[in-house]
Amino acid sequence: MTKQTFSLTTFNLYNLNEPELPLYEKTTPWTVEEYALKQTFTARLLREMAADLFAFQELWHGQSLQNAFAAAGMNDDYDLIVPDDHTGKRIVCAAAARKGLVVGTPVWIESFPETFKLSSRGEDSQTPQIAVSVDRFSRPVLHLTIKPLSNGPEIHVYVCHFKSKGPTKIYREPWYEKDSHAKHAESIGSALSTIRRTAEATALKMIVTDKIKETDIPAIIVGDVNDGDLSNTVNILTGQPRYLMGLSLGGGDADLYTAQTLQQYRSTRDVYYTHIHQNIRESLDQILVSQEFYDNSRKRIWAFDGMDIANDHLNSENHRADGSNDHGIVRARFRYDPA
């Protein structure tokens, strides 16, 4: 590619599967009519939020994504990155890249790094020991490498979808006792979901740190992390870097910067949200970039050029009835402008 700009969009597909195929245990499959509405909505948003790279979550069936791109009239412009034989039996992260953008072979990462360990005896005598045994991602992380400029560096992209904040259902656990645990099911389930999401964030940050620390390799984490910009989940991923250093003196070797914050510096008002739950608006869908994309970094290669959000559809009271999604769709734009 020779153009001097680069864009990427994170797009939660809201359980995109072929009609009549099973979804979650207590989720009704899409009817033919509902599927048609979903395809119409998805195709329209693909056109509106077109980017060099799409990062997708909640894809159940590869053919469903192919159909959406065909309906959008975009099949000839993109390579779809979906696992082989992905035919509606499980949920994955996927991608679509403009022709010629991807280099190498994309891989889906299921297991945590071998060096991953969440265990501690406590820092003092008052602190009890803790150990977390989770060792793989709820949804495999898609890792692909792209090269927007023929004479520029490769960019490593990690598409993720972490455990939701919804309480984990504990009633099927062998230790569950109705009299003892039923009234605490929400708090225990929420704690379990938080622990799992925290572990997933830690494991992915370890993977990315091993790639970018002391290497000057540009990297991006993009997807549905199911947590807000100031959450512990996002803080683990970013390393909580300093902003606004000025004069290209900033940048952290293994830190990541949120597109949300970069956009806020260009706006007098923050209206960023990608999800609504019980009337609370949150930003669960994130684009996190390494110092090579941070304006004030001494090692900047790509300058932030703005962010767009499609979220009007979140006002829908019934997403099944109109084919819309339950997450906003976020696009970040960058232009080639080395420090």
Which CATH number covers residue 31?
3.60.10.10
Domain assignment of residue 178, yes or no: no
Kindly give, in sequence order, each residue whose CB lies less than 8 Å from that of residue 213, ignoring residues fewer than 6 positions away: 253, 254
Give the integer Cα–Cα distance in Å for 314 and 332: 20
277 vs 237, more confident: 237
Domain assignment of residue 182, yes or no: no
Domain assignment of residue 51, yes or no: yes
Q: Hey, which bits of the chain come out as E strands?
A: 5-16, 53-61, 78-81, 87-98, 102-111, 118-120, 130-132, 136-146, 155-161, 219-224, 256-258, 275-277, 280-282, 285-290, 302-310, 329-336
Give the integer Cα–Cα distance in Å for 301 and 320: 42
Across-strand partners of 87? 61
Per-residue model confidence as pLDDT tens digits over 116-127: 999 999 888 899
99, two tokens:
């022709």
Residue 263, pLDDT score: 84
> What value does the mean pLDDT take over residues 283-310?
92
Give the integer Cα–Cα distance in Å for 20 and 236: 39
Give the integer Cα–Cα distance in Å for 160 and 202: 13
Domain assignment of residue 63, yes or no: yes
Domain assignment of residue 117, yes or no: no
Per-residue model confidence as pLDDT tens digits over 55-85: 999 999 999 999 999 999 999 999 999 999 9
Say how many domains are in the chain.
1
What is the residue-averaged pLDDT of the chain? 91
226, two tokens:
């199911």
Q: Assign 292 to helix, strand or coil.
A: helix
Domain assignment of residue 29, yes or no: yes
Does residue 1 surpass a pLDDT of 50? no
Q: What residues make up the domain containing 249?
A: 5-111+140-168+205-336
Whole-model pTM? 0.94
Does residue 269 surpass a pLDDT of 70? no
Which residue stretches of the chain are H helix? 32-48, 62-72, 178-181, 185-212, 232-238, 259-264, 319-322
Does residue 275 surpass a pLDDT of 80? no
Domain assignment of residue 134, yes or no: no
Place of tokens 């970013």: 238
Residue 283, pLDDT score: 76
Residue 276, pLDDT score: 67
Please give the DSSP secondary-structure letter assigned to residue 297.
B
Domain assignment of residue 133, yes or no: no
